[in-house]
Structure 1
Amino acid sequence: MADYYTLLTNGGIAYETACKAAGVPIKLAQISVGDGNGAVYNPDANAKALKREVWRGPLNALFQDEKNANWLMAEVTIPSDVGGWYVREAGLWTDTGILYAVVKYPESYKPVLATSGSGKEFYIRSIFETSNASIVTLLIDDTVVKATRAWVMDYLAKGTYSKAEIEAMIAKASALPVGVMVPFPLGTVPPGYLELDNSLFKDDLYPDLAAYLARKFNVSGDAAGYTRLPESRGEFFRGWDHGRGMDPGRTIGSYQADAFKSHTHTPPNQTGINSAAVATGAKSLGGNTYDTLYNVGFTGDTETRPRNLAVMWCIKAWNAPINQGTIDIAALAALAAQATELNQGTAKVATAVQMLDSANDLVMITPKKLRLGFAASFTPTGYFVFPSWLGGLVIQWGAVEYQTDGDSLLAVSFPVEFPISVLYADWTVESGILSSVIGSYVHQVTKKGMYLTCDKQVSSVATVVARWFAFGR
C-alpha cells in the first residue's frame, strides 16, 4: 500500500451497498480534516470519525478519473482565514453523516494570517476507489461552495464576467434541473435519467419528475401513483411555436403527424400539348393522356426525412441535493451501523478465527462455517464430533464380541481420538446372560481407547456382545 491513501470505511461500504440495493445515488456532501491527535497514523476501516477534527466544509468538486472508471477524485479548498494547525487526516462524509472514507494525509501545516503572519488557501484532493463510480454524486450547498481564489481571479482579470456572475455560475453548475431532456449517443441510460420511452414510473421513486410532468402524458387506465413519460423513440423534436405563428394551434408536449405542404407542379412543354388547354382541364390533347403526364410515380422510402443521427433521448429524473424518493435516510444510516441484537444493521462474515471466538457477537456465521469442526458417523461403531465453538463435545459408541472368562481384558479403540479427555465411559452386555454376570468393568481409559472386562458366576466361558459408550471433549 502507498504511504498515503484513502480508505473506504466499513460504514461507507455498508451505506454504498444499501444505496445500490435501493437504486438511489451515493451522496457525498462534506470533507473534514484533522491533526491526527498529534501524529500521522494508518486509518482503520472501523472508524466513524477522525482522530481529532479541526475543520469541516462542503466539497468543491467530485469527478471521475479519466483512466480508471472506478476512481473518484474529491477536492476541497480550505479558506485562508482558518488554520493554525497541521493536517494529517481527512474524511469524506455522506449527506446522512456517515464517514464514507478516511484519508491518510502527509503532514502539512495550514497557517492563518492572524497568528502565523501569513495565510494561504489550502487545497486537498482525495482519490478513492468505489465499485461503481457513476452512482456517487456530489451534494452541493449553493450558499457556501465556492471556487478557489486563483480560479476566480483568472476570470476577473479577463474582464469577461463580474465576480457576482462568476459565483452564480459556479453555484448553478452542479446539476441540470429535473425534467430537462438530453440526447445520448449510446443505449445506456446514465444514473439520474430515464429514457423517454412512454413507460410508467412510480411517483414515489421520482417525486420531483412526477410533480414536473403532472401526469400530462398519462392515458386512461394508468394506475394512480404512476406517471407516464413522453415518447421520443423514432420522433423528431420541434420547437414549440408559442405564439410565433409558424406552427399555430399547438400545445406544448403535443404530437403531430407527418404531412406534405400543399404545392403545384408545372409540367415541362410536351409535343402536342397546349398549356392553355391543360389549364381548362382537358383530359386528352394531341394524342397524349393528361393523367399519364401528371400522375407520375417516384420510387422512394416509407417516409420523408432529412439526414439524421439516431440518439437516445433521456429526461433528468432526480438531482442529488433535493430528491430522496421513498428512501428513509435514517433507516439507511441504521443499516450502515454495526448489527447488534437491538439494531438490524450490517455485520461482517466471520472468519474461522472469529467464529471460534465465543465472545465475538459482531460477525455472522455462514452455513458452510456452521459445519466447520463438525463430524459424524452413523455406523454401528460411530461418533458425533461437535465444533469447538459449540463446546467441542465428542460422543462415541460401538459393539464388540467378548468372552466372559473373568480374566482377559478386551481392548477397544475409539473411532476418533478424544482431543482433550474422556469424561465418561461404560459398557454393558446382552440382556440374555445378565443373570450370570457379576459385574462389568472399564479399565485404563485413554483418549484413544479403553479395556473391558467382566466377572461370571460359572466357570464356563460365554461369548457376549459388549456394547460400549463414551463421551468427552
Structure 2
Amino acid sequence: MTDQTSQFFAILTAVGEAKQANANALGVPWTFAQMGVGDANLTDPIPSRDQKKLINERRRAPLNQVKVDPDNASVIIAEQVIPPDVGGWWIREIGLYDADGDLVAVANCAPSFKPLLNQGTGKTQVVRLNIIVTSTANVQLKIDPAVVLATREYVDALVLSVLPPNKVAGTYTQVRINERGTVQQGYNPTTLAGYGITDAMPKGAGGLLAWPQVVAGQLCKVPDTRFFIMADETTDRPVGFTYGIGMHMAWQNGDMGVDFMGGVAGTEWYGVRRFNTDGTGVWRMLWTSANFDPESKANKATTLDGYGITPASQAEAEGGADTAKPMTALRVFQAIAKVVKQATEAAPGWLKIGTQAQVDAGSGDDVAVTPKKMRLGFQFYPSGVGYVVFPTWLGGLILQWQSGPIGNGVDTTHNFVIPYPNGPFAVFATCGYTPGSGVLNYHAAAIINKAQFMIRSSAGSAAGSWVFSVGC
C-alpha cells in the first residue's frame, strides 16, 4: 500500500538503454512518440528494466511535447495531456514508447484517480515523465498535431517566443513590421526626408532675374532653378540657345554664372558666362558632345594584360628565379607541383586523404586513411545484453548476445538488442544444463525480421538460455 515511505522513480528499460547507446554511437535520432498509463491491476508497481509492457495499460496516446529540463541538461521531460472525457480508472504506472512502438522507459507514481464527466466531476490531467539519459543531442519529438492537447504553460512559452517583451512601449508615427505583421521597431521622424517626402523644385516663367545689391568684397549666393531664353550675345554662343541657371556667385560690381547644362540642335555642351549687373556678358564653351562622348569612354581592364602587365610563364614559375612578374593561380599550382610530388613507399611527397568509399572498398594505394574513416561505424556495448558493430570497411558486421527465460515448450518472440540495418544472418540459442541433473534442455531459435527472433525450448518448465546472433 502506498504511504509516506513509498518511493517513485523512472528508469530506462533494457531496450531503452540499448537504443540510447545506439543513438549516441551512430548519431541517429532517438524518437519518442507515445506515452501509456495504467493502473497496475491496483497494485504498487516497481519499475523493472526487463519490462516490455505495462502491467495493465489503460490508455496510450501521442505525446504533447518532449523537452530537455532547463535546470538539468541530462533530464528529458516527456508530457501527455489526458482530456476530461477520458478516465474512470487509477493511474499508478507510466510507460514511454518510441517510434518503433517499443517500451523504452517505465515509471511508477503516486496513485491518482482520473474521473469521467458522468461521475459528477472531471479534470484535464497532465502526466509528466522525467528520465535521466547520458545525452539529449539525438532526442526528437514525433507528434500528430491533430490529436494532442497543449498545456497553458506550453502555449504561454510559445507565445512569448513569438512575441518577446523586448520592445520599447510608446506612440510612434512609423513602425517596422515583419512578414507576419509583428511590430519590430518604432520611429518618430523629425524631417520630411524621414517620412520619405522629397523636396519640391519650384517652376517659373521667363525673364531675367533682378540681382540684389552687392556689398563690396562680399561673396553672395543667389540660387535659381528657373529656365529661360536669352538673345545672342557673342558668336561663341549659338543663336536661340536654351540653358538653365543653377547658381550665381557675385563679387562687388561683377559676378560669374555657371550654366551647368545646355544644348541646341541635338548638341550638348557645358559653358561658363561672365556677365555684368545689367545681364550682359560673354560666354566661353568648356566642352561639347563633339569632342567628348561619355558612351565612348574606355572600360577598366579585367586582366593583367589589360593593364599592360605580363604574368610569369609556366617555365618562369617552375624555375622560381624571376622577381618581377606576378603569378596567376595556375602558375602557383604549377610551381608547387614541380617541387612537391605524389608520395610513394619509396619517396616522400604529398598524399591525398582517401574517401570513405575508397576505404570501404579497399581500393587505391595512393591515398591516406584517417582514424575517423577507419573507425566509421564501429560500436561496442559491453554488457550482459550487448553487441559489437564492426567498421564499415569490414562490411558493418554486427554480433549480439543476450539472455532471458524461454517459454514452456512454446514459441516466444524476442527483440534483438539493436535492430539489424540489413538483416541477421543467423541466430543461435545455447543448450541449457543443470549440473548433476542428467537432463539437457534443448533450445532452438529462428529469425523473424530485422528486429525480432523466435525461440523455443524442450524443457517442461521455463528455462534460461543465452542467445547469439550475427548480421549486418
TM-score (structure 2 length as normaliser): 0.35
In terms of fraction of residues, the more strand-rich structure is 2
Looking at both structures, which has the greater relative contact order when contacts are Cα pairs under 8 Å and sequence separation is at least 6? 1
TM-score (structure 1 length as normaliser): 0.35
Structure number with greater Rg is: 2
